[in-house]
Amino acid sequence: MNIRTLITAAAVAALPLAASAATLIIPAAATGPGSNNSQWQSEVTLHTAAPRAVALTLSFHQASNPPVVAEVTLQPRQTISLADVVKTKFGVEAGTGAIVIDVADQDARTIAVTSRTFNTSEAGEFGQDIPAVDAASALHAADAAAIAGPSEAEGNRFNFGIYAIEETAVEWQLLRADGTVAATRTLTYPAGQHVQYNSGVKNLLGGTPEDNDVVNAKVNTGRAIFYGSIVNATGDPTFVPGVRTREDVRIHFEGVDVDEDGTVDIADADHDGVLDAPLDVLASAFPSYFRLIATDELGNPVQYEIVSSPAETAFLDAAGTFRVAAGGEVKGTTGSIVVRVTTGTSSSLITIPVKFH
């Protein structure tokens, strides 16, 4: 590859983020020795189009270590490059992690971020551009990240990783080229954790790499960013994005029957798997009862399983009747009940927003 030019990884025009700060995430940045006497490092370039100074907060998240924080101020229309940023800005001698960039909402649209990670050895310098990702576009419950492996497994190292924006439960699947699920593993990551699995097919999933493997990262709860990298025998890396996908599961979620009279009171009219309005639940010593209404595409019954809930929740029968026992600690709060709906070998996650009174 041996590319010296930097390709813009993220130019932020308008970010639909939180009221006080916008967040960009570079999912992988590294420093330290590699194989065959090579050396890895990452370079980040920051630019502002604003006619005023813009303050940025950068934090480096490595495994479950506390983040290392650095402040950067860009002068009007300034561009700066941070060479070997993990070492020079965060003081890390060797390691891989995610860089989180926070900027005030009012300045977010002025910022452009470029990231490049490269390997230097006797064979030359080989690099990959790693895009910065808007935190608002992270994958969430019912999404799956498809991370494509090399077309030729022999001679290539397939790495992949995750940065968890909030506590996230992930079912990792190894899919062969013919669609066979060769291995699965479910793990939970705390908020702010970054993990990269080098040669992950073998080291995480216990499989032998094959041509055209795909690692499918199914998000059960939480929000996260996924990525991959393919490194050949010379140390030349290629960045692989975690592409957002959803299984084409033929489950028809109608909505929730609030008073258990057999009719849908709150619907999922747009069929996106999310109830269109929140379910009102009384926080008291007595539980509330509801019925979830869903079938497969032929109208046959499905099975239900609670994945997560901010209050004690359980299904009482196969017809979808469920009980929510909400104590005073959740009164005045909101949240979501996530339910796995299964028919045969297919399953889908549905989300029920909840408001506790």
pLDDT digits (tens, 9 = 90+) for 218-272: 998 999 999 999 999 888 899 999 999 976 657 889 999 998 888 999 999 998 8
349 near 142, Cβ under 8 Å?
A: yes
3-state helix, strand, coil in the chain (%, to 5): 5, 55, 40
**13 pLDDT higher than 50:** no
The percent of residues above 90 in pLDDT, for the chain, comes to 77
**211 pLDDT higher than 90:** yes
**16 pLDDT higher than 80:** no
**2 pLDDT higher than 80:** no
State how far the Cα of 88 lies from the Cα of 105, in Å rounded to an integer: 27
pLDDT digits (tens, 9 = 90+) for 250-264: 788 999 999 888 899
- The pLDDT, as a whole number, for residue 269 is 93
**Region 37-65: what's the mean pLDDT?**
95
Among the residue ranges 10-14, 90-94, 215-219, 322-326, the one predicted with the least confidence is: 10-14
- The pLDDT, as a whole number, for residue 233 is 86
**Region 323-349: what's the mean pLDDT?**
89
CATH topology for 140-245 is: Hypothetical Protein Tm1070; Chain: A (2.60.290)
pLDDT digits (tens, 9 = 90+) for 105-153: 999 999 999 999 998 888 888 989 999 999 999 998 878 999 999 999 9
50 near 181, Cβ under 8 Å?
A: no
**Region 90-97: what's the mean pLDDT?**
96
- The pLDDT, as a whole number, for residue 249 is 57
- The pLDDT, as a whole number, for residue 19 is 38
pLDDT digits (tens, 9 = 90+) for 275-334: 999 999 999 989 999 999 999 887 888 999 999 999 999 999 999 999 999 988 999 999
128 near 41, Cβ under 8 Å?
A: no
CATH class of 251-356: mainly beta
State how far the Cα of 257 lies from the Cα of 199, in Å rounded to an integer: 48
State how far the Cα of 146 lies from the Cα of 148, in Å rounded to an integer: 6
CATH 2.60.40.60 in the chain, residue ranges: 251-356
DSSP 8-state secondary structure symbol assigned to residue 52 = S
**Region 65-89: what's the mean pLDDT?**
97
- The pLDDT, as a whole number, for residue 11 is 32
- The pLDDT, as a whole number, for residue 322 is 96
The dihedral built from the CA positions of residue 216, 271, 251 and 164, taken in this order, carries a sign that is: positive
**15 pLDDT higher than 60:** no
Beta bridge partners of 81: 45
- The pLDDT, as a whole number, for residue 20 is 60
pLDDT digits (tens, 9 = 90+) for 170-192: 999 999 999 999 999 999 999 99
CATH class of 10-136: mainly beta
CATH 2.60.290.11 in the chain, residue ranges: 10-136, 140-245
State how far the Cα of 76 lies from the Cα of 5, in Å rounded to an integer: 24
